[in-house]
Amino acid sequence: MPRVSQDQLAARRHEILAGARACFARHGYEGATVRRLEEETGLSRGAIFHHFRDKDSLFLAVAADDAAEMAETVARNGLVQVMRELLSNPDAAGWLGTQLEVTRRLRTDPEFAERWAERSEAIAAATRSRLDRQREAGVIRPDVPVDVLQRFLELAYDGLVLHLAMGRPADDLGPVLDLVEAAVRRS
């Protein structure tokens, strides 16, 4: 039997995560049956669950990848940039679906909420760190504590996710994000 390289395993894992992200976005966690996951990924359940213990582990891996990417973008460019990318990226539907499912599970599944807390804190820490650096550089307003600015930006982000989830138009939100950004910047 030929050996599979680490690169091949990583590529297969990425392929499974991409298909699962689309499946969870389209059908929600409950509706993403194993059969639908197989159809979306083009792989057998054996191939899928060779990489992930169960559907819950697969969903958590999808959500964790999204959270890590978000924390990286926040650390580099700020939470407003995450919001701008969400608006400009036509492939964001999978990501948005994952965010909505995470939100639902946080409300209804205490065990999931406990496991998710670490990932949520990573995003909050990246936001605080970015705001601290921006304050040191004299870019953001000095009259509001960083933790208040952080919560303000998180509320704006949550509102944007809800707005998009409700199917409201996104094409006219650029000026709204400009206003959010202006609210935290030094005048």
Radius of gyration for the chain, computed over Cα atoms and rounded to the nearest angstrom = 18
pLDDT string in tens for the chain (187-residue length): 567 688 888 889 999 999 999 898 888 888 999 999 999 999 999 999 999 999 989 999 999 888 888 888 888 898 898 899 888 875 565 677 788 888 888 899 898 898 888 888 888 898 999 999 999 999 999 999 999 999 999 999 999 988 887 888 888 899 999 999 999 999 8
Give residue limits of the domains in the chain: 6-184
Using DSSP, state whether 142 is helix, strand or coil. coil
What is the predicted pLDDT for the residue at 167? 80
Q: Which CATH architecture has domain 6-184?
A: Orthogonal Bundle (1.10)
Rounded CA gap, 160 and 52, in Å? 31
Q: Please, which contacts does 183-187 make with residues 24 or more away whose CB atoms are closer than 8 Å? A: 183/152, 184/131, 184/140, 184/141, 184/144, 184/149, 184/152, 184/153, 185/139, 185/140, 185/141, 186/138, 186/139, 186/140, 186/141, 186/142, 187/141
How long a stretch of residues is the chain? 187
Rounded CA gap, 102 and 112, in Å? 9
What number of H helices and E strands is found in the chain? 9, 0
pTM of structure: 0.81
pLDDT, one tens digit per residue, over 69-105 is 888 888 889 889 889 988 887 556 567 778 888 888 8
CA 50-111-22 angle, 5° bins: 50
Residue 75 buriedness (CB in 10 A; 0-12 / 13-18 / 19+): middle
